Amino acid sequence: MDCASEPTGFHYVGNCIRPPSEADSILIQATIGCSHNKCAFCGTYKDKRFAIKDRAILEQDLAFAQSYCRHQRRVFIMDGDALVMPMRHWEWLLGEIRRRLPWVERVGTYANSKAVALKSDQDLRRLKELGLGIVYYGLESGHPEVLKRVNKGATPEKHITQGRRVKEAGILLSVTVLLGIGGVELSLEHARETGRVLSAMDPDYVGALTLMLIPGTPLCDAYERGEFQLPDPAGMLLELREMIAHTELSDGLFFANHASNYLPIKAHLPQDKAAALALIDQALAGRVGLRPEWLRAL
């Protein structure tokens, strides 16, 4: 999403992204860029140096939202891993959102394993008390070699630990995974191991996106050199099927309905697993159409 399309009263730096489910949210850019910014597949924040925005600017943004965003019930805090902000910044910001935007029902943000690990259990509970309702957590893969190759900066076990800590604090956990990120070589292994890690994290939501190579990123460079082979649409569907088959959630929603995906899936696990697998089987057999390439997008 290009922030130029947002109201001019907000002070955005560069292009900004948010989860599809936050499309109608008030978008507050509290940090600029991503503190990790080394993932081989991501080019979103390469033009930004990580920084925490000045409080005076955020006060202006909150004042604008107070006047012009009274029908929006959610706030999403950007940029890439805004949870990494120190607690003093979060306590001030969440307090101001509660004071200035009392009609807001939920605040959400992106996070990675490092950002969560920097918060104590008490910190996470405090964030929940102050109104942080959901964390969107970038897992991408549960396969240790895949995580290493894409420079994610965490092991599968670290992801499990930090994801569980978010849930134990009472904050909703939405985990993002990437189909195709293991390439053809590790496709099904990536799917199985990701299902294992998702099962251990037991998130409230899973969002499966399909990898789309971004020019200038290390992974795209590897693809152009012939060192990385992207699965074809059938391979992506087989990977999705294997991932769902190996994911056991106590009560969660598994989405694969992002614009990057070939086959929209929305399954409430565990009860919808068989139906989701059957739909993928029909698509693999050619009885269900796939989204054409020209309609796919990030």
Distances, alpha carbon 126 to alpha carbons 95, 104, 143, 208, in Å: 11, 18, 32, 29
108 lies in some domain: yes
Return left, alpha or beta for 279; rule: phi > 0 is left, psi -120 to 50 is alpha, else beta.
alpha
Number of domains in the chain: 1
- Asked if residue 204 belongs to a domain, the reply is yes
Tell me, what's the pLDDT at 205?
A: 98
CATH of the domain at 203: 3.20.20.70
DSSP 98: H
**Is residue 1 very low, low, confident or very high in pLDDT (cuts 50, 70, 90)?**
very low
Q: Give the tens place of pLDDT for each residue, 201-230.
A: 999 999 999 999 999 999 999 999 999 999
Kindly tell me if the per-residue pLDDT of 266 is higher than 80.
yes
Task: Report yes or no on 140 lying in a domain.
Answer: yes
Q: Is the pLDDT of residue 283 over 70?
A: yes
In a domain, residue 293? The reply is no
Kindly state whether residue 296 falls inside one of the protein's structural domains: no
Average pLDDT over residues 60-68: 96
State which residues form the domain around 184.
Answer: 3-287
Q: Does residue 72 form part of some domain?
A: yes
pTM metric for this prediction: 0.94
Average pLDDT on 177-196 reads 98
Distances (CA, A) of 294 to 1, 19, 217, 261, 265: 18, 21, 22, 12, 19
Residue 214 lies in a domain: yes
Q: Does 297 reside within a domain?
A: no
The full 3-state SS of 194-219, as one line of letters, equals HHHHHHHHCCCEEEEEECCCCCCCHH
